[in-house]
Amino acid sequence: GESVGLHLPTLSVQEGDNSIINCAYSNSASDYFIWYKQESGKGPQFIIDIRSNMDKRQGQRVTVLLNKTVKHLSLQIAATQPGDSAVYFCAENMGYGGATNKLIFGTGTLLAVQP
């Protein structure tokens, strides 16, 4: 039978350009959001986080924007470098009234940086 391949959304950018990776989250009650970078064969690496009482947070070369009205999160990477090539996941923290919180991951975006 025919096999169906799974394809990650891919963002291809030129080295030195800025990258914007978008994510839609599901739960309006989520109070904390994280962006992770995952290189092939490795676990996710923390990039930046933002709490729901903020709409923007900046790190080194990265900025996260949060729009709670439309449940949208974005990660901006300035001056993208070949080492930024990886899969990027957003994750929302779903709390349970003080019980153990858990993260729900988005589907991921493959960032491919062209030299």
Partner 1 sequence: GAVVSQHPSWVICKSGTSVKIECRSLDFQATTMFWYRQFPKQSLMLMATSNEGSKATYEQGVEKDKFLINHASLTLSTLTVTSAHPEDSSFYICSAKVGSSNQPQHFGDGTRLSIL
Kindly report the length of the chain.
Answer: 115
Instruction: Identify the DSSP state of 38.
Output: E
- Whole-angstrom Cα distance, residue 115 to residue 63? 23
Minimum CB distance to partner 1 smaller for 6 or for 115 = 6
12 binds partner 1 (CB under 8 A): no
Stretch that binds partner 1, among 11-19, 30-38, 62-70, 75-83 (CB under 8 A): 30-38
Identify whether the C-beta of residue 64 lies closer than 8 Å to the C-beta of residue 74: yes
- Does residue 63 interact with partner 1 by CB under 8 A? no
Does the footprint of partner 1 cover residue 89 (CB under 8 A)? yes
Q: What does the alpha-carbon distance between residue 18 and residue 76 come to, in Å, rounded to a whole number?
A: 7
Coil, strand or helix at 82: helix
Count of residues interacting with partner 1 (CB under 8 A): 29
In angstroms, what is the minimal distance from the CB of 43 to partner 1?
Answer: 4
Q: Which is nearer to partner 1, 97 or 115 (CB)?
A: 97
